[in-house]
Amino acid sequence: QVQLVESGGGLVQAGGSLRLSCAVSGSIFSINAMGWYRQAPGKQRELVAVTSSGSTPNYANSVKGRFTISRDNYKNTVYLQMNSLKPEDTAVYYCYAAVMPSRGSYYSPNWGQGTQVTVSS
């Protein structure tokens, strides 16, 4: 069993910043991709940012230049620094991690419970 716990969401004014974090715990042999997705009411879930070992991060066009994803492999934690926030960034943000729980097993997708980000105009 693997658990992902997000934190850092909240209410912020347009132009402000938030820093999300997601800690992965439980049975972990290795972690490949880690990322953030978001879903606004009435809209489909979309990729915000994703990072894998040995590659540069990928970002949605709507957040390029404003958001930065990073990870601390020693702490099994991924972060999302969000700057210059806009009202259209309002959504529930979900942490994602592809985790191999034990040697010889397979990578499986794992999701956090989500954290609400609300940007007021």
Question: How large is the C-alpha radius of gyration of the chain?
Answer: 14
**Predicted confidence band of residue 55 (pLDDT cuts 50, 70, 90):** confident
Torsion, Cα of 44, 120, 35, 2 (10° steps): -90
pLDDT tens readout for residues 75-85: 999 999 999 99
Largest Cα separation within the chain, whole Å, is 50
**Element spanning 13, H or E:** strand 10-13
